[in-house]
Structure 1
Amino acid sequence: MSSNRLKILHWSDYACPFCVIGDKRLNEVLEECNIKDRVDFEMKAYQLDKDAPKKPHLKMEEVFAKKFGISIEGARDRVDRIAGIGRNEGLDIKFATVQFTNTFDAHRLTKYIASQGKDVEKFIDLTFKAYFSDNLNIADRNLLIDIAEKAGIDKKDASKILKGKEFSDEVRKDEEEASDKGIRSIPHYIVNGKYVISSSEKSEMKFVLEQVLKDEAEGKLNINE
């Protein structure tokens, strides 16, 4: 097996249940393909709702009803169905009771932690857990600071970032890049700048990664992309 590193960019949002589900499935496929230990991930920011409030006041069923123009009953069914998909993957997704909120600061702090070479994956996992499992308000800066500390970031440094505007441009740049690439839904993964996985479906992930390995075996994989 080649020891070449694979780079996976993944556009994601902390308010996106299929991003959590997709990441779980992708990690399973990487394990099955025996390449997880040579993959480098980079989370790219993508806000599902840039106008989401910092102080939650709507239930998810109300958000869905408004967004999709459906009844509360229909929205509730859709929310429950998504939570069920998560449970089937072994994930604790309490989607009906999440605190629908703005994720911009969470993305900014993610960028900062990544820039410091700290355990950004731990921060990402803990933030997803705070939102979907613990149903906490991840726009709350004190909460974000506590999560950052668990990922090895000094509380004073995290506080300084959140009080200012640092890494705002980096978040917006990710969103502009998504727009330039025609990305309209998440999760969206790009392997080595070339191979696209545009859903959370495990079958698509496996197909694409098997193509990556095939091209690698035939010397067609550009590891510098």
Structure 2
Amino acid sequence: MRVEIWSDIACPWCYVGKARFEKALEAFPHREQVEVVHRSFELDPDRAKADAGPVIPMLAQKYGLSEAQAEAAEDNVGAQAAAEGLEYRTRGRDHGNTFDMHRLLHFAKEQGRQDELVQILYRANFAEERSVFTEGDERLVELAVEAGLDAGSAREVLADPAAYADEVRADEREAAQLGANGVPFFVLDRQYGVSGAQPAEVFTQALTQAWGERSPLTLIQDDTAEACGPDGCAVPQT
């Protein structure tokens, strides 16, 4: 069975949702027969590569919040991440364009290192002090090497704007065709869709239902589940 996960490195609910899905997958009896593929979805595709800025003011401006309210929202996400065993810096992070990261993830897929790289990019963005947006390509090369990729090859991919660009755009078009207007979005064997950072129990249900079944894509959706979309990420209310 194949599970495809549309997500963006800038999406905190994708970070949390991945951990919840993996908790369900770990307990799934057929987990060794499940292939996980990460698909591209940019939350801010029109943002310039050099345009990176701090998260808190961005949240405040986007949602009409005070900075104190934006900080409280980040604290809420941080608490949910911590409940999944994830580190999450609620202060001092920044936000920017993720297109190059998605291109690098497609390269990593060819090398059989995609899952390693996506987890390293999440950790670097949400848990580490250094930025994945402001330090240039060499920061991404460093992370690619940590994932087991060749530094020179990763550098060549990043230096060529066309490298894997078509693959990123194809993923994004496919997401739209499947009805995904926010992430994370999980598609199980092209039978079931799970939208948002659902509890592990929902992923367990979806894995069980999808196993061995053949039917049109059925959306399992809870409008209260946190997700990120073109207008930004859901701001939890305390």
TM over 0.5: yes
Task: Choose from 23, 28, 31 the match for 2:23.
Answer: 28
Q: Deviations over 1:59-104 (max 9, x none)?
A: 2121111222222222221111111110111100113322212111
1:144 positional shift: 0.9
Identity of aligned residues (%): 26
Question: Residues 63-212 of structure 1 correspond to what in structure 2 (within 5 A)?
Answer: 63-115=58-110, 117-139=111-133, 140-165=136-161, 166-202=163-199, 203-212=201-210
SS in 2 for 1:95: coil
In the TM superposition, what is the alpha-carbon distance from 1:50 to its structure 2 partner? 1.8
C-alpha distance in 1 between matches for 2:177 and 2:112: 29
Instruction: Supply the distance in 1 between the matched residues of 2:51 and 2:75 (Cα, whole angstroms).
Output: 20
Please tell me whether the aligned partners of residues 38 and 114 of structure 2 are also in contact (alpha carbons under 8 angstroms): no
What value does the CA root-mean-square deviation take over the aligned residues? 1.8
Aligned letter for 1:118? G
Gap regions ≥5 residues in structure 2: 216-238
8 Å contact from structure 2 (residues 53, 96) kept in 1: no
SS at match of 1:85: helix
Structure 1 segments of 4+ aligned residues over 4 angstroms from their partners: none
Normalised by the length of structure 2, the TM-score is 0.82
Q: CA, structure 1 residues 34+185, in 2 after alignment: closer, same or farther (shift >3 Å)?
A: same
Query: Residue type of the partner of 1:199?
Result: G
CA deviation vs aligned residue, 1:5-29 (integer Å, no higher than 9, x gap): x100100111111111111111111
User: As a proportion of its length, which structure holds more strand?
Assistant: 2
Contact 1:99/1:136, CA 8 A, preserved across alignment: no
What count of residue pairs does the alignment treat as equivalent?
A: 211
Q: Which has the larger radius of gyration?
A: 1
CA distance in 1, matches of 2:86, 2:122: 11
Q: Which has the higher helix share?
A: 1
Task: Give yes or no for contact 1:56–1:137 (8 Å, CA) kept in 2.
Answer: no
Q: Is 2:4 aligned against 1:47? A: no
Q: How far did residue 188 of structure 1 move?
A: 0.3
Unaligned runs of at least 5 residues, structure 1? 1-5
| 1:177–1:135 CA distance, 2 compared to 1 (3 A) | farther
User: Residue 18 of structure 1 is aligned with which of 13, 21, 24?
Assistant: 13
C-alpha separation between the residues in 1 aligned to 2:52 and 2:35?
Answer: 37
In structure 1, C-alpha distance between the alignment counterparts of 2:170 and 2:195, rounded to whole Å: 20
* Alpha-carbon distance between aligned partners in 2 of 1:163 and 1:65, rounded to the nearest angstrom: 34
TM-score (norm 1): 0.87
